Amino acid sequence: MIKGLYEAHLPVSNLQKSITFYEKLGLELAYVQNQLAFFWIVKGESWIGLWESKEAKLDYHPSIRHIAFRIDEEDLARVKEWLQSIGIEIKTAFGFTPAQQPLVLPNNPHAHAAIYFTDPDGNSIELIAPLRLDVEEDFPMMSLNDWCKNEGI
């Protein structure tokens, strides 16, 4: 029945500034009306809604102010350079500095690589790629560089 996540929503304080930011990420503007803009993540499959609101400065919590965009594993090698080229600063996450990212999340029985930054309102944005699914293994969170060394890549 369920085929995937179609939409997610984030609060923003300045819709035009946020439109510019999400366009820099390469998302296609799908719809704008009053204080609302939708961007396609994958056209016809998923999109994100940005709502201009006075309440955009809510205290951060990942359950209400976080979104993760999937990227391909091949993109991990150039994701930092790409973010820097479009003027987006990587943030420290889980104690890992920007220099240590992407990092590998040990979501046993899965492993994902991720990198973190924020939008103009401090909403947490993650770019994430699955590395391994359904493999039982315990390992600590580590940088992708350390993961590759451990895997002999």
Phi first, then psi: what are they for 106, rounded to 5°? -90, 75
Q: Where do the structural domains in the chain lie, given as residue ranges?
A: 1-57, 62-153
Say what the pLDDT of residue 50 is. Answer: 95
Say what the pLDDT of residue 56 is. Answer: 67
Phi first, then psi: what are they for 19, rounded to 5°? -60, -45
pTM for the structure as a whole: 0.88
* pLDDT tens digit sequence for 18-74: 999 999 999 999 999 999 999 999 999 999 999 998 876 777 666 678 999 999 999
* pLDDT tens digit sequence for 98-141: 999 999 998 889 899 999 999 999 999 999 999 999 888 888 99
- Residue type for 32, please? V
Exposed e or buried b per residue across 9-45, where buried means at least 16 C-beta atoms within 10 angstroms of its C-beta: ebbbeebeebbebbeebebeeeeeeeeebbbebeeee
Name residue 115's beta-bridge partners. Answer: 127
Say what the pLDDT of residue 58 is. Answer: 72
Find out whether 65 and 123 touch, Cβ atoms under 8 Å. Answer: yes
**Of all residues in the chain, what percent carry a pLDDT higher than 70?**
94
Phi first, then psi: what are they for 97, rounded to 5°? -70, 165
Sign of CA dihedral 53, 56, 71, 81: positive
We find that the CATH architecture of domain 1-57 is: Roll (3.10)
Find out whether 125 and 69 touch, Cβ atoms under 8 Å. Answer: yes
Find out whether 126 and 68 touch, Cβ atoms under 8 Å. Answer: yes
The listed CATH number (3.40.50.1820, 3.40.190.10, 3.90.79.10, 3.30.720.110) that belongs to domain 62-153: 3.30.720.110
